[in-house]
Amino acid sequence: MGNILEFVPGDSFLHRLNPITKIVLAFLFCICSLLSNNLLIQVGLLAFLMIIAFAAGIGEKAMGLLRTLLFFCILMIILQLIFMRGGVGYLVLPGGFPLVTSDGLYYAALFTLRIINATLPLLMMFAITQMNDLTNAMVNRLHVPYRYMFILTTAFRFIPILAGEFHDIMDAQKARGVEFDTRNIFKKIGLIVPLCVPLLVSSVKKVDSGAVSAQVRGFSLRTRGAGYKAYPFRLGDLLALLLLAAMIVLLVFFG
Amino acid sequence: MAAMLEFDHVHFGYGRAVILPDLSFTIEKGDMVALIGANGAGKSTVSRLCNGLLLPSKGHVRVTGMDTKKVRTSALARKIGFLFQNPDRQICKNTVYDELAFGLQVQGVSEAEQKERVEKALETFHLDPKWEPFTRSRGERQRIALASVLIHEPELIILDEPTTGLDYRECTEIMEYVTALNREKQTTVLMVSHDMELVQSYAKRVLVLSGGQLLGDGPVRQIMKDEQTLHAAKVMPAQIPALALRFGDTFSDVYTVADMVAALEKERG
Ligand SMILES: Nc1ncnc2c1ncn2[C@@H]1O[C@H](COP(=O)(O)OP(=O)(O)OP(=O)(O)O)[C@@H](O)[C@H]1O
Ligand SMILES: [Mg+2]
C-alpha cells in the first residue's frame, strides 16, 4: 500500500507537463466524471484515461491502481446489488426472489466507474509527478509558502517509511516469540497494540532529527526563488487544458 | 542427529534483485561461528533467513532439522535468540524490568521464574530495572536488547553486530558471557561482525561472505591468515596475524599480542 503514490520515472508528454497543469488536469477530469450520469460516457472516460496511461508508459501502474480501487469498491457494489430492486430480475431464488436485478447491475457499474474516474486521475497524477517538482512548482508559480508544502511532502514521504518501520518492528517481535504470524486476526490485533510504543518512539525520533538536520542545513533561509528548476508553462500545457475544458463543456451540454 | 543450522542450496532475492544465488553451509551444535563480509554482502539477510523472517525462494533452511518454511518464526523463537542490528526495533516496554520479563511472559514462563531470571540477567548485564530503555544511550539500549535475547537461554544465538556502539569493556564482558554460554551449555553461536579483532578472539570458525557467495569457510586461525580471501571479500584482517604473515615461517603460530611477544623474545634469545 505504501507505493500507491509512488513516482514512475519517464519522459513522456505527460511527464513533461508543468506540475501545476497536471494537478489542474486531474481535477478537471474528476469534474468530468461527476458531471455525467451516463454509463457509456463513464466507460469512455475510463478508456480515455487508460489510453493516456499506456501512451505515457505508466499503463502497468494504472492497471495496478485500478485493481486497488476496484477492491475498495467491492462493498459498494454488493450494497447496490442488494438494495437496487427495480428492472428485470436475474438468478431467481426458489421463493421467486431475484438475487440481482438489472437496475442493481446498472447502478453498481455506474457508481463504481464514477468513483474510479474521480480518483484514478489524481493517483495517476502522483505517478507522473515527483513530489519535489510538485511542491517547487506550487511555491514558485502559485506562491504557496514553502513550509506548508514541505509539511505536505514530508507527510507523504513518511507513509512508506513508517510502513517499513512497522514491518521491521513486527519482525523483531516475531523473533522473540510474539505470535504475529498467527492466523487468528483478533489475536493479532491484540498483539499489535503494544507495538505502537516502539513505532511511536522511532517516528518521533525521526521527525525530531529530521527537523534538526533541516534547521542545521538552513531550512529557515529558504526563499521562493531558492529552487534551481524553473517551471514554465508551454504550448502542451495549454493544449491539454483546452482539451479537458472542451470535454467539460461538451459534458455540461450533452452529458 | 540433525545439524543445528543448515543452509541447503539457499537462493534468495528481494524482489528481482538476487542477493544470495546459492548458499550452502552447516553449523553443528556447540560451534561458535563468525559471519564476516563487507557492507551489503548479505550478512543480515543470511541471519534473517535463519529464523524464518525471510524464506528462501529455492532450497531450504533447517534449524535442528526443522524447515523454516514449515515452522513459524514465533515458534522458532523458543530455540533461537536473535539480536537485530538495530536494538530499537526490539525494545517495546517502558522499563528494563518489563522489557526483560516480556519475552519470558510471551513464552509462558511462570511468574516466579520470570522474576528469578530477570534478576540474574540484570546483574550479569549491569542493568538497572527501573531504567527507561528509550532514554538510555545507544550502547545501553544494545545491552538491554542483548539481555532480553539471552535471558531465554536459547540453543542457537544469532547476533547481528552485537558489539557496535559498545565500549571496549562492555564488548569484552558480553563476549565473555556468550563464550561461557557456548562452553558450558553448548549454545551454538552465529555472530555477524566487522571487527576482526573480536572475531579472532572469540570465534572458532569463520564464514566469509561476499556478494552473496561464500568465499571462505574454515577455522578462525586459517581464515585470519588467508589474506587473499579476506582481501577479495574486502575485509580488513586483524593486525597481529597480518603482521605475523610478513615475517614468514618463524611467526607462523602467532595470532595474539601474547604470541607475538613470546615469538619476539625467542627470536632475541
Ligand atoms: N528489504 C530490502 N529490500 C531490498 N533490498 C534489500 C533489503 N534489505 C537488504 N537489501 C539489499 O541486500 C543486500 C544485502 O543486504 P544485507 O543487509 O544483508 O547486508 P549486510 O551484509 O548485513 O550489510 P551491513 O554490513 O551494512 O549490515 C544489500 O545490497 C541491500 O541493498
Ligand atoms: Mg547487516
| CATH (domain of B129) | 3.40.50.300
A181 and chain B in contact, CB less than 8 A:
yes
* Nearest-angstrom CA–CA distance, B107 and B25: 30
- State the closest ligand 1 atom to the C-alpha of B38, by its place in the atom list counted from 1: 25
Contact call for residues A88 and A101 (beta carbons, < 8 A): yes
Q: Is residue B192 part of a domain?
A: yes
Question: Which residues, in sequence order, are CB contacts of B176 under 8 Å at separation 6+?
Answer: none
Q: List residues near ligand 1 (CB under 6 A).
A: B 14, 17, 19, 37, 39-45, 85
User: How many angstroms separate the CA atoms of B82 and B159, rounded?
Assistant: 6
Distance between CA B44 and CA B41 in Å, rounded?
8
Q: Is the pLDDT of residue A1 over 50?
A: no
C-alpha distance from residue B205 to each of B26, B189, B217 (Å): 11, 10, 7
Considering only CA atoms, which of A55, A65, A57, A60 is closest in space to residue A117? A65
Ligand 1 atom nearest to CA at B45: 18
Q: Averaged over A46-60, what is the pLDDT?
A: 90
Query: How many angstroms separate the alpha carbon of residue B41 from the centre of ligand 1?
Result: 7
Tell me whether residue B121 is in a domain.
yes
> What residues of chain B score a pLDDT lower than 50?
none
Q: B-chain residues within 8 Å CB-CB of A172?
A: 84, 89-90
Place of cell 528509550: B134
Instruction: Examine the pLDDT at A2 and tell me if it is beyond 50.
Output: no
Q: Which residues pair with B33 in a beta bridge?
A: B190, B205
Inter-helix orientation angle A19-35/A235-254, to 10°: 10
Cβ atoms of B161 and B193 within 8 Å: the answer is: yes
Could you give the C-alpha distances from B225 to A55, A188, B244, B248, B255, in angstroms and in order? 59, 50, 9, 11, 9
pLDDT of residue B269: 77
Cβ atoms of A81 and A90 closer than 8 Å: no
Helix axis angle, A39-55 relative to A102-128, nearest 10°?
A: 30
Is residue B231 one of the residues assigned to a domain?
Answer: no
A181: left (phi over 0), alpha (psi -120 to 50) or beta: alpha
Mutate to test the interface with B, among A176, A184, A192 (most CBs of B within 10 A): A176
Residue A182 pLDDT > 80, yes or no?
no
In a domain, B235, yes or no: no
> What pLDDT does A158 receive?
82
Task: Work out the minimum CA distance from B239 to partner chain A, whole angstroms.
Answer: 35
Task: Report DSSP letters for B193-220, one per residue.
Answer: -S-HHHHHHH-SEEEEEETTEEEEEEEH
Classify B151 as helix, strand or coil.
coil
- Round to whole Å and give the CA distance between A38 and A42: 6
Reference B202, options B30, B80, B33; nearest CA is: B33
Distance of CA B48 from the midpoint of ligand 1 (Å)? 11
Cα distances from B1 to residues A113, B4, B25, B64, B185, in angstroms, run 62, 9, 16, 8, 18
Give ∠ CA A142-A232-A29 in degrees, rounded to 5. 65
Q: Is B133 contained in some domain?
A: yes
What is the ipTM for the molecules in this complex?
A: 0.83
What is the distance between the alpha carbons of residues B189 and A108, in angstroms, rounded to a whole number?
A: 60
The shortest CB-CB distance from A178 to any of B74, B93, B152 is to B74
Q: 3-class SS at B164?
A: coil
Q: What is the DSSP letter of B125?
A: T
Give the model confidence (pLDDT) of A205-255 as tens digits: 888 888 899 889 888 777 776 777 788 888 989 999 999 899 889 888 876
Instruction: Compute the average pLDDT of residues A174-192.
Output: 80
Ligand 1 centroid – CA B183 distance (Å): 32
Q: How many domains does chain B have?
A: 1
Q: Looking at the complex, does the CB of residue A182 fall below 8 Å from at least one CB of chain B?
A: yes
Which residue has 591468515 as its cell numbers? Answer: B225
**Which ligand lies nearest to the CA atom of residue B17 in the structure?**
1
By C-alpha distance, the chain B residue nearest A205 is B134
Chain B residue numbers touching A193 (CB-CB < 8 A): none
Per residue in A106-134, pLDDT tens? 889 999 999 999 999 999 998 888 888 88
CB atoms within 10 A of CB B149: 24
Give a yes or no: residue B243 inside a domain: no
Mean pLDDT of A152-179: 84
Of B14, B85, B209, the one to substitute when testing ligand 1's pocket (max ligand atoms within 8 A of C-beta) is: B14
For residue B104, the enclosing domain spans: 3-219
Lowest model confidence (mean pLDDT) among A74-83, A184-193, A223-232, B147-156: A223-232
Residue A255: predicted pLDDT: 67
Q: Measured between CA atoms, how close is B105 to chain A, in angstroms?
A: 10
Residues of A in contact with B103 (CB under 8 A): 176-177
Euclidean distance between CA atoms B103 and B77, whole angstroms: 10
- The alpha carbon of B262 and the centre of ligand 1 are apart by a number of angstroms equal to 42
B148 burial level (CB within 10 Å; 0-12, 13-18, 19+): buried
Average pLDDT score over residue span A58-76 = 89
Numbered residues of chain B with Cβ closer than 8 Å to any chain A Cβ: 48, 51, 53, 72-74, 77-78, 80, 82, 84, 86, 88-94, 103, 106-107, 134, 148-149, 152
| Residue A13 C-alpha, separation from nearest chain B C-alpha, in angstroms | 29
Query: In Å, how far from its chain's centre is CA A148?
Result: 20
Answering whether pTM is above 0.80, one says: no
Residue in the block written with cell 614468514 = B248
pLDDT of residue B1: 67
